[in-house]
Amino acid sequence: MKRVLVTIVVLGGAAVAVIAMALAAIRWQIEPLLTGVRKLNRVLTNRGALRSAGTASSGTAVVVHRGRRSGRTFRTPVHLDRVQNSFVIALAYGDGADWVRNVLANGGAIVEIGGETFITATPAVVPSAEVLPQLPVRQRRAISTFAVAKCLRLDIVAA
């Protein structure tokens, strides 16, 4: 019984440490840690999120994009906000994430959200301060808390 309790405490402590490191990496944009968080999300978190992302019952969207070199189609779950005729995605991991570079290189992406599909174009990385006033309060707080410096804006060209 004591061994089980010790194991639970150690694993719980390790989980807290990993979460704390991930939050610190995002808050202070520590590139080596951000790279680790990106890889961890790609392998673990994204696969689970993609099961329901983009559907009518999910608050998570999917960005469908093509690889810059491979030409393969990728699906990345994201949280976004619609601002007039655009989608805005806070770039918590910075603008160096593969999916962001793919969208920029291809001049747009397909966005699936709420069971609907949108074609987007003219992607632009913009300072968060530029779009902050147009975002919902919860998103403004998250961007401020994690000091997210940049957002990706995608103009909607067709639904």
Angstrom distance (rounded) from CA 89 to CA 154:
8
CA distance linking residue 22 with residue 3, whole number of Å: 29
pLDDT at residue 55, as a whole number = 82
pTM for the structure as a whole: 0.79
Q: Is 85 exposed, middle or buried (0-12, 13-18, 19+ CB in 10 A)?
A: exposed
Domains of the chain: residue spans and CATH? 2-158 (2.30.110.10)
With beta carbons less than 8 A apart as the criterion, state whether 26 and 37 touch: yes
pLDDT at 156: 98
CB burial of residue 89 (10 Å; 0-12, 13-18, 19+): buried
Report, as ranges of residue numbers, the positions in the chain whose pLDDT lies below 70. Answer: 5-6, 9-11, 14-28, 33-34, 37-38, 41-43, 46
